[in-house]
Amino acid sequence: MITLEEAKAHCRVTPEETEFDGEIQIALDAAVDHLRSINVDVAADPFPPALKQAVLMLVAHFFENKEAVTPEKVWFTPIGVDRLIAPYRGVSL
């Protein structure tokens, strides 16, 4: 799985900048929870690189875009996430 330190590095937050730890941890938990909710197996060990990248992309997206919609823009999840997780999704019938 991804550590807080890895998520901070991906968001370009230094280890010394602890004021964002809670926010980044929430984003990390939300990213993993989101993948679980769409039937992606996040319990794999070792964790596949594509899933790791998808989680990190979601963390960065959540960290940078605090709201889903603003008067100026509508934010969507990064397009690459769908392609990265596709091989790991369970089939729903």
Contact 40, 60 (CB under 8 A): no
Q: In whole angstroms, what is the distance from residue 32 CA to residue 82 CA?
A: 14
pLDDT for position 35: 92
Contact 84, 47 (CB under 8 A): no
pLDDT for position 83: 84
Helix, strand, or coil here: 80?
A: helix
Q: What is the pTM of this model?
A: 0.82
Q: Domain locations in the chain?
A: 4-88
* CATH pick for 4-88 out of 3.40.190.10, 1.10.3230.30, 1.25.60.10, 3.40.720.10: 1.10.3230.30
**Residue 62 phi, psi (nearest 5):** -65, -35
The residue type found at 49 is P
Instruction: Give per-residue pLDDT as tens, 35-60.
Output: 999 899 888 889 999 999 999 999 99
pLDDT for position 89: 83
